[in-house]
Structure 1
Amino acid sequence: MNTSEFNSFIVILIYGSLVLLSLLKLTNPLKVNRKANIWFGIFLFLWSTFWLDEVLLLITGSAIEFHSLLPVRFVQFLTPIVFYLSVLFYTNPSFTFKISGLKFLILPAAFLLCIILGQSGYEVPFENLSVILILIQALFYTGLSYITIRKHQRKIQQFSSNTEGINLNWLEYIILVLFMVNIIYVIYNLFYDPKSLNFFINTTFLLVIYFVAYYSLKQKEIYPLEERQRQELISIDEDSGDEEVRRKLIPDEELLKIKTQLEMMMETQKPYLDSELNLIKLAEMVSVSTHHLSYVINTGFEKNFFQYVNEFRVDYAKILLKDPNSKLSILGIAYESGFNSKTSFNTTFKKLTGQTPSEFKK
């Protein structure tokens, strides 16, 4: 099998994989992150159409310029927006569309006008302008999606003690890889024959798609399904641990009282050993609201919830690691200390102590 035939095989795999994954996300058999998965499924389907011309060529044996049809070009132009909407719903399942959101239709409207005028006798200038709009749209929503995910990663540390399954790292990696691949492709287009790069680009995209399939299908529900609890957590500011944005929610006397009560409970009841511990559970144990508890941890201890809980876990793990009679493995100690994976245990332990658990034990 030569390079051309192998590239054709990869194209078929890309298109088939994207369509299949799109259907899986739209049907959502696990019933998690419902709205986000619908938008992500639509994004995957739109993404698959970029290879449809090549697939039709392989099937029919003749070139079919499916992508040149006006409705197809316009719908494909919406792909970055649809991806951004999926990110919005992953990070905030209660997101609702508002009138102010109409500003996001400015670029699509400008693009539609360009391709209509381009087909009316002004092809060259408007075709060039439409390409520029495609690049602007892709870069703008890629950047916006990346910023939204980074904010989400800070927010979840305000209410979750184990963020590994809900931090959306896989979406962040997709953005970075696609961004780098597109830069390489644009540069190669300018100076070399772009056809010679098709094999590399398609192989990279296929690997990215399998990566997406693996992580998107195992993505957990990020926020609680119960509406009241979900709204409480969503309303917590991701930057509430910063001094300049911290507001005084309760008097200092009340803060000290809750702080003392929390310290005593953490020492005696050890709730941090529960790997599923979150702000809601801990607030119920202390009998205060989630906002007040978050404020006490941020202000009274100058830490976010994630840091506060995991420091107790690391201290507990140190005791187990020092015990010469312990028969637990490193993984066993991780689970015993409240961590839900060896990766999160190693990462958190090294961040707080400067050593891995294995190095500390030696």
Structure 2
Amino acid sequence: MSLFIFLCSLYIAPWMLGFAGWYDNQPYRDILFYLPLQHLLFIGPIIFFYTQSLLNPSFKFTKKEALHLIPGLLYLLYITTMGVYDKLILHDYYFYTNGMDKDFDNWYQKTGLVSMIIYFILSIKYYNSYKKLMYQVVSYADSILFKWIKTYLFAFLIMLSLPILFDSISYFFPELNSYKGSWWFFLFFSGVMYYIAIVGYSNPANASIPFKMEFNKNPILLLNDVENNNTEEAVIDIDHEIFEENISPEIQKLKIKIETLIQSEELYKNPELNIAEVAKKLDTNVALISKTINRGFQINFNDCINNYRIEAVKTMFANNEHEKSTLLGIAFDCGFNSKATFNRAFKKNTGKTPKEFIDTL
């Protein structure tokens, strides 16, 4: 996040320093010419890396991630080459004879915008895949979806839309294309940048489920095997498609085992229950448990466990426990970890709010 804010600040810098007279006086003019300040090809990858680092505790910057920085590095090489030729070889302006800063070249501005749009789309896809994965592997998905991430991505979308918006408006108000007229663009840009910074720093994400993600493939859940000191991998079908109307005998048999285990040991009362714990108790693998729940119960793991919790809540309501305890207290006793999740799950299961349901007893 700090690097993103730094790059955004550099993006504004040429305009602010230009107003301070740097383009009209030496050596400041050459500093702005030969020192690239608008690193448009880095902003998109940085946002993408930031999103991954928030959602995936196993995310590491590797050589594969470094490939995303190649376009930005090529632009730096391009600017450096021109600077070396002009200042060290020719000792005069050659590439800058028109007196225009290369950061403002139309091709670079448009390429940078396209790059940021592509990485914005990748970030949205990554978040959506993460969301689907969490519903498949934990019973507390709502609490780790970090919905504010979608908020900052939406703010980033607004930031990307500003150049397009102002280009359209400038068709009717040409003065917006002038150096002074662009004040409005940079004002809105700065406002969105500050908003992203405030939202990002005030909403820390504590993701705890490590995984590997490749686009157009199902994510791989990483399971820590403490006893053997290694990491197991489980491919999770995040789309939980039902491939057959009649489930196989093997799936049906495992489904019964899952039902018996959850009910007999009241696993649903564990607010941090995850699919790995169920697999371990049944001495099988996570991928098979996920497949069985998807095909056997025809819902994801999160909804499956929440349904057991709702049934336990309804039982307590029938026993008039709501007259002795608060609704939230009952929800917590049955495994929910927040009021919002409880109300949403109860409404989804019964079509009524808890109070409406009590009135029907």
When normalised by structure 2's length, the TM-score is 0.71
- CA spacing shift, 1:104–1:269, aligned 2, 3 Å: same
**In 2, Cα distance between the equivalents of 1:69 and 1:342?**
57
The amino acid of 2:259's aligned partner reads E
The amino acid of 1:223's aligned partner reads P
Among candidates 218, 222, 228, match of residue 209 of structure 2: 222
Instruction: State the 1:201 CA deviation.
Output: 4.6
Corresponding residue for 1:312? 308
Say whether 1:78 aligns with 2:42.
yes
Larger radius of gyration: 2
**In 1, Cα distance between the equivalents of 2:336 and 2:349?**
14
Say whether 1:43 aligns with 2:4.
yes
The amino acid of 1:237's aligned partner reads D
Corresponding residue for 2:295? 299
- CA spacing shift, 1:355–1:171, aligned 2, 3 Å: same
Considering only aligned residues, what root-mean-square deviation do their CA atoms show, in Å? 3.8
- CA spacing shift, 1:160–1:103, aligned 2, 3 Å: same
The amino acid of 2:195's aligned partner reads L
Corresponding residue for 2:199? 211
Bigger mean CA offset, 318-327 vs 348-357: 318-327
Counterpart contact for 1:111–1:133, Cα < 8 Å = no
**In 2, Cα distance between the equivalents of 1:197 and 1:121?**
26
Counterpart contact for 1:273–1:337, Cα < 8 Å = yes
Bigger mean CA offset, 285-294 vs 84-93: 84-93
Counterpart contact for 1:165–1:220, Cα < 8 Å = no
The amino acid of 1:174's aligned partner reads Y
Among candidates 238, 261, 265, match of residue 261 of structure 2: 265
SS in 1 for 2:153: helix
Once the two structures are superposed, the pairs formed by residues 71-150 of structure 1 within 5 Å of their partners are: 71-74=36-39, 77-94=41-58, 104-105=68-69, 107-108=71-72, 111-112=75-76, 120-121=95-96, 127-150=105-128
Counterpart contact for 1:160–1:305, Cα < 8 Å = yes
Corresponding residue for 1:351? 348
Counterpart contact for 1:166–1:222, Cα < 8 Å = no
Q: Deviations over 1:134-162 (max 9, x none)?
A: 11011010111111110110011111110
Structure whose residues are more often helix by fraction:
1
Counterpart contact for 1:115–1:127, Cα < 8 Å = no
The amino acid of 1:86's aligned partner reads Y
When normalised by structure 1's length, the TM-score is 0.71
SS in 2 for 1:242: coil
SS in 2 for 1:255: helix
Corresponding residue for 1:188? 166
Counterpart contact for 2:58–2:210, Cα < 8 Å = no
**In 1, Cα distance between the equivalents of 2:265 and 2:33?**
66
Aligned length: 313
Q: Which consecutive residues of structure 2, in runs of 5 or more, have no partner in the other structure?
A: 23-27, 84-94, 171-175, 212-221
Counterpart contact for 1:273–1:338, Cα < 8 Å = yes
**In 1, Cα distance between the equivalents of 2:231 and 2:146?**
19
**In 2, Cα distance between the equivalents of 1:130 and 1:220?**
36
SS in 2 for 1:147: helix
- CA spacing shift, 1:332–1:196, aligned 2, 3 Å: same
Q: Which consecutive residues of structure 1, in runs of 5 or more, have no partner in the other structure?
A: 1-39
**In 2, Cα distance between the equivalents of 1:105 and 1:276?**
38
- CA spacing shift, 1:112–1:276, aligned 2, 3 Å: same
Corresponding residue for 2:242? 243
The amino acid of 1:207's aligned partner reads Y
Corresponding residue for 2:88? none
Bigger mean CA offset, 152-161 vs 87-96: 87-96
The percentage of counterpart residues that share the same residue type is 24
Corresponding residue for 2:320? 324
- CA spacing shift, 1:166–1:332, aligned 2, 3 Å: same
Instruction: State the 1:113 CA deviation.
Output: 6.8
